[in-house]
Amino acid sequence: MKILSGIDLVQISEFKKQLESSAFVKRIFNESELENKSVEHLAGIFAAKEAFFKATQINIKKWTDIQVTHKKGKPHIKYVKRDLKIEISSMDCSISHTGDYAVAIVVIISC
């Protein structure tokens, strides 16, 4: 068993500038992730995806291969492609934002 983790911090005021580009938005987010278009929400999703990439140490090919969903307020990550070099037994994600920052952490248990 191996425990993997990734964390990412996003400065919301800087991230807001990136959201002005529709090409950036289409490259990063799935349609379901755009149902709530608040900057804080999207910054949290972006941070969760970054944290997932860091935990799994995969090269970013398509950001939309990763989908962040919420069930009863708790974030969950779905990875569409199954070309990971690790087997995920369990994965947990947490997202928080306050003031000018959003942060996300991903913890994975791999066999």
Q: What percent of the chain has pLDDT over 90?
A: 77
Lowest mean per-residue pLDDT among 2-6, 73-77, 82-86, 91-95: 82-86
CATH number, domain containing residue 71? 3.90.470.20
Domain hosting 32: range is 2-110
DSSP 64: G
- For residue 18, give both structure tokens: 């990136």
- Bridge partners (DSSP) of residue 106 are 6, 93
Please give the single-letter amino acid code of residue 53: F
Q: Which residues contact 21 (CB under 8 A, 6 or more apart)?
A: none
* H-assigned helices in the chain: 12-18, 22-28, 39-56
pTM as predicted: 0.93
Domain count, the chain: 1
pLDDT(90) > 70:
yes
Q: What is the pLDDT of residue 50?
A: 96
